């Protein structure tokens, strides 16, 4: 029997709506869903016997994310269409790790890593599901189950290629872990919240104690990374690579590749992001995604682009939106324990980011266009087409006036 997996395959995967969040594989009680790699991209496939429980289809955020219903589940209320669209939050902060090594190792201010280290050391979590690099091919990403500080530190920094983090859910519970933190992109948090609403399998649902969401403008096809390695760094053979990071070196971090012969190659982040080496390979499903700031997470973390900070000169900082009691508790505890420092953040400033524009205006409009042509689209059950929010561009005065 494979009816339910067939439904997932027909409704989501074969229509290009899979976000590769990993939730279906991570919740399947029969362990029947695994991954195949097509064009370098992970895709779920049935490798075992589907028992027809239907959990995978129920939790999948690929085609259907009832944002208002999930918002009501998490916050007990649903925001009107007309408010600034960063979702519900209790507090907005700029934050960074007090440990200079973690701060430097992190993508922004190392906040996520610092929170996880705090939670682990205080016994609030016993493992975290994270994104790392494969040991055998250290330029390809994979989901990591980190139960020790060392692995949490090694998983720091953003991975700009798909990582189906949620795929490790059942594995974590079957190893005996009962307090899981998951760090995920907004679509991964959607899958987790759908799982909570479903309430099945109960032990797994109960075991997820913290959801740290990352702001996400887009995820990228691995092909983008491959092009940068081959064309821009001249690496014809990837097996020369000993280690790689997308945000290595000084803040804001660059594509840094360490070779087995000891050489170190760097591709400037400004060049690969703003000259579109990477954004050209934006995943198609991401073009249709309307959640930028991980609106349903316990705590959401993104880059903080301090207008005063000069690349290469300043240490990074993270921005964060504290959304739930669990998010509030971990931030307050880490602050009390001196794992992090924070300052106030005017949240609407975040909407000046490119990601906000891409998600809240461009993707919303794109969804409308695709619907008009009858193309497959995810249903977020929220009419975001007319989002009235106007972002304030924090440009230097001379840029604003065109002088
Ligand atoms: C694909 C992608 C797009 C992003 N887009 C934006 C954006 O538009 N605007 C913005 O402000 N910020 C964005 N971010 C978030 C930002 O890059 C940082 O991840 C965030 O600020 C946290 O930094 P930090 O130093 O606090 O975290 P760190 O201490 O560096 O820890 C980061 C944690 O995130 C996990 N992680 C990294 N990559 C992934 C991944 N692909 N999937 C799941 N978990 C992962 C790591 O395992 C690590 O635990 C994006 C991140 C990613 C991965
Ligand atoms: S649950 Fe996630 S990985 Fe599985 S089909 Fe849906 S979107 Fe894809
Ligand atoms: S843009 Fe949306 S669908 Fe794509 S990875 Fe980010 S959260 Fe997931």
Tens-place pLDDT, residues 314-346: 899 999 999 999 999 999 999 999 999 999 998
Task: With respect to residue 400, please indicate whether it lies within any of the assigned structural domains.
Answer: no
55 and 26 in one domain?
yes
102 and 237 in one domain?
no
Q: How far is Cα 312 from Cα 66, in angstroms, rounded to an integer?
A: 42
Last residue of one domain, picked from the residues 240, 264, 281: 281
User: In the predicted model, is pLDDT for residue 386 greater than 60?
Assistant: no
Question: Residue 3: pLDDT band by 50, 70, 90 thresholds?
Answer: confident
140 and 159 in one domain?
yes
245 and 169 in one domain?
no
Cα(82) to ligand 2 centroid in Å equals 30
User: In the predicted model, is pLDDT for residue 245 greater than 50?
Assistant: yes
- Reduce the DSSP state of residue 145 to 3 states and report it: strand
11 and 153 in one domain?
yes
At 37, which helix (H) or strand (E)?
A: strand 33-38
Is residue 152 within 8 A of residue 146, CB to CB? The reply is yes
Atom number of ligand 2 nearest to Cα 191: 1
CB atoms under 10 Å from CB of 108, counted, come to 30
Nearest CA-CA partner of 188 in 319, 24, 32: 24
Secondary structure of the chain: what % helix, strand, coil (to 5)?
40, 20, 40
pTM (predicted TM-score): 0.96
- Reduce the DSSP state of residue 341 to 3 states and report it: strand
Question: Residue 401: pLDDT band by 50, 70, 90 thresholds?
Answer: very low
Nearest CA-CA partner of 73 in 360, 326, 324: 324
Last residue of one domain, picked from the residues 266, 281, 296: 281
229 and 315 in one domain?
no
Range of the domain at 244: 222-281
Task: With respect to residue 272, please indicate whether it lies within any of the assigned structural domains.
Answer: yes
**Residue 159 CB less than 6 A away from ligand 1:** yes
Nearest CA-CA partner of 389 in 344, 352, 335: 352
- Residue of 159, 218, 278 to mutate, ligand 3, most atoms within 8 A of C-beta: 218
182 and 276 in one domain?
no
169 and 40 in one domain?
yes
Judged by its nearest atom, the ligand closest to the C-alpha of residue 291 is 3
Give how far the C-alpha of residue 230 lies from the chain's centroid of Cα atoms, to the nearest Å: 26
Query: What's the domain count of the chain?
Result: 2
Task: With respect to residue 393, please indicate whether it lies within any of the assigned structural domains.
Answer: no
Task: With respect to residue 397, please indicate whether it lies within any of the assigned structural domains.
Answer: no
133 and 156 in one domain?
yes
Question: Residue 238: pLDDT band by 50, 70, 90 thresholds?
Answer: very high
Task: With respect to residue 38, please indicate whether it lies within any of the assigned structural domains.
Answer: yes
- Which residues is 97 bridged to in the sheet? 340
76 and 173 in one domain?
yes
Cα(158) to ligand 1 centroid in Å equals 4
Task: With respect to residue 151, please indicate whether it lies within any of the assigned structural domains.
Answer: yes
258 and 123 in one domain?
no
What DSSP character marks residue 290?
-
Task: With respect to residue 332, please indicate whether it lies within any of the assigned structural domains.
Answer: yes
65 and 170 in one domain?
yes
Atom number of ligand 2 nearest to Cα 25: 4
CA distances from 251 to 105, 255, 352 (A): 9, 12, 20
Task: With respect to residue 360, please indicate whether it lies within any of the assigned structural domains.
Answer: yes
**Residue 219 CB less than 6 A away from ligand 3:** yes
Q: How far is Cα 313 from Cα 251, in angstroms, rounded to an integer?
A: 8
């Amino acid at each position: 029997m494979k009816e339910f997996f067939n439904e997932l395959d027909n409704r989501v995967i074969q229509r290009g709506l899979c976000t590769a969040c990993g939730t279906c594989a991570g919740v399947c009680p029969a362990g029947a869903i695994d991954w195949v790699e097509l064009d370098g991209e992970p895709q779920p496939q049935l490798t075992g016997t589907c028992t027809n429980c239907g959990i995978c289809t129920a939790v999948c955020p690929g085609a259907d994310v009832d944002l208002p219903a999930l918002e009501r589940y998490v916050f007990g209320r649903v925001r009107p269409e007309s408010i600034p669209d960063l979702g519900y939050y209790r507090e907005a902060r700029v934050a960074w790790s007090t440990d200079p090594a973690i701060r430097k190792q992190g993508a922004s201010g190392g906040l996520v890593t610092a929170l996880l280290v705090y939670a682990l050391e205080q016994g609030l979590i016993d493992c975290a599901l994270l994104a790392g690099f494969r040991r055998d091919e250290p330029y390809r990403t994979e989901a990591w189950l980190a139960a020790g500080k060392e692995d949490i530190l090694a998983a720091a920094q953003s991975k700009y290629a798909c990582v189906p983090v949620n795929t490790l859910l059942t594995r974590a519970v079957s190893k005996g872990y009962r307090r899981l933190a998951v760090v995920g992109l907004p679509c991964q948090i959607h899958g987790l919240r759908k799982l909570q609403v479903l309430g099945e399998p109960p032990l797994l649902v109960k075991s997820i104690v913290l959801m740290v969401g990352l702001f996400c403008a887009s995820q990228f096809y691995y092909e983008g990374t491959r092009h940068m390695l081959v064309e821009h760094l001249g690496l014809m053979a990837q097996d020369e690579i000993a280690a790689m990071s997308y945000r290595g070196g000084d803040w804001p971090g660059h594509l840094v590749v360490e070779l087995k012969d000891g050489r170190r190659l760097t591709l400037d982040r400004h060049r690969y992001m703003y000259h579109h080496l990477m954004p050209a390979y934006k995943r198609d499903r991401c073009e249709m995604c309307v959640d930028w700031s991980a609106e349903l997470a316990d705590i959401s973390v993104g880059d903080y682009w301090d207008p005063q900070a000069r690349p290469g000169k300043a240490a990074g900082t993270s921005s964060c939106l504290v959304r739930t009691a669990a998010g509030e508790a971990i931030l307050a505890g880490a602050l009390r324990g001196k794992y992090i420092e924070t300052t106030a953040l005017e949240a609407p400033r975040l909407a000046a980011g490119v990601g906000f524009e891409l998600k809240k205006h461009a993707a919303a409009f794109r969804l409308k266009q695709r619907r008009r042509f009858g193309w497959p689209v995810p249903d977020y059950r929220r009419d975001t087409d007319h989002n009235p929010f106007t972002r304030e561009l924090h440009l230097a005065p001379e840029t604003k006036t065109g002088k």
